Amino acid sequence: MKALLAALLAAVALSTPSRAADPDPADWPSVLAAAKGQTVYWNAWGGSENINAYIEWVGSELKARNGIELVHVKLEDTATAVAKVVAEKAAGRTEGGSVDLIWINGENFASMQRQGLLMGPGWADKLPNWAYADVEHKPTLTVDFTIPTLGQESPWGMAKLVFFHDTAHTAADTMPQSAAGLLEWARAHPGRFTYPQPPDFIGSSFLKQALSELVADPSVLQKPVVENDFDAVTAPLFTWLDALHPLMWRQAKQFPKNYPAMKQMLADGEVDIIFAFNPAEASAAIAAGELPGTVRSFVFPAGTLSNTHFVAVPFNANARAGALVAADFLMSPEAQARKQDPNVWGDPTILAMDKLDAADRARFDTLDLGVATLSPADLGPAVPEPHASWMTRLEEEWTRRYGVAN
């Protein structure tokens, strides 16, 4: 029976229609020539006016520079585009697919990679503008929520955990520099720190940040949880939390429900330190009148939790060459600097400033990021996200130990 099944599977594989060869980014002039006149259907989240406007600008640039028509297929959920490619593969549509480019990361990428739905591997790190990518200090450019990208998706933006404080009440040089330093700071300033109650995303991210710093071997977090080892691996975190909680706002008998509630606490002077997953958040809150103009940002010098968002090309994309040109343009210093402009989007760059020439560095140096936004050079190293299974188990164990009702 096993032999018969193997033979049937082999027959199915042999009967799969052949595809034209993927464009080779190593021969960039050929890619550009093939891309001219193509229409690229970019499936991307469409829920933000400023991001939609940025994508529209990208389209106008690709049209003028490369003769490419970019169509933004606006999604509410990336999984919709993934399902479309799944259905096309199941129907044997190996050419002329309806999706050319997808804004993607995390589980959606892992799912497409696992099912053989992506072009590649090895195209992303051959794009011309990859030479400027900060792969040395941003490991999330090549590892997406612990899954090696294998050059099957191209980075174009970052998310990073950043802390905020009000300089009218606390001096910058007194801010903690690590999780261990935060505990010492809390001992000196009882009641002046809190975090959102997990499983709120920001609260759970705080747990992952602390665990990444305190764990004996950080590499274990890049693998799925081994249940028999969970208690031993997380013991330093929960020992730290046991010490921190009595020193927190309301002695950790109550927690803010989410980031907006925690932000209001800083505005009201109830706490001295808060944090978010967007380096531009404090400046945006100041501009919106939600935080005082004296609020400023800081990070832990050894690094803070970070992840990257990417674009990927489905295996059966109709405009594969055009999709590669679009992905490369998204990594260009010009496109990255415009995206980081808070008046456009405020999304952090994936580029290394020391790899850029003076003219391209000036694009970033002259940006007014907002009074409370750190420069790319000051954001510090990126700490990679743990495997998704760690967040699930951390939330469960946190609730078992500390769960409270707000």
Output the pLDDT for position 19: 63
Output the pLDDT for position 12: 26
Please identify which residue in the block is written with the tokens 């990859």.
130
Give residues with Cβ within 8 angstroms of 344, minimum separation 6: 50, 53, 54, 57, 338
> Which residues of the chain fall below pLDDT 50?
1-17, 406
Query: What domains does the chain contain, in order, with CATH numbers?
Result: 23-157+308-373 (3.40.190.10), 162-298+384-402 (3.40.190.10)
DSSP structure string for 342-384: TTTT-PPP-B-GGGS-HHHHHHHHT----TTPPPGGGS-PEEE
* Per-residue b or e along 224-261, where b marks 16 or more CB atoms closer than 10 Å to that residue's CB: ebeeeebeebbebbbebbeebbebbbeebeebbeebee
Query: Under a CB-based contact definition with an 8 Å cutoff, are residues 163 and 279 in contact?
Result: no
Output the pLDDT for position 5: 26
Query: Under a CB-based contact definition with an 8 Å cutoff, are residues 105 and 310 in contact?
Result: yes
Query: Under a CB-based contact definition with an 8 Å cutoff, are residues 79 and 288 in contact?
Result: no
Output the pLDDT for position 16: 32
- 357-404 per-position pLDDT tens digit: 999 999 999 999 899 999 878 999 989 889 888 988 999 999 999 987
- 81-140 per-position pLDDT tens digit: 999 999 999 999 999 999 999 999 887 898 899 999 999 899 999 999 999 999 998 888
DSSP SS3 for 312? strand
Global pTM reads: 0.75
Output the pLDDT for position 75: 93
Query: Under a CB-based contact definition with an 8 Å cutoff, are residues 62 and 29 in contact?
Result: no
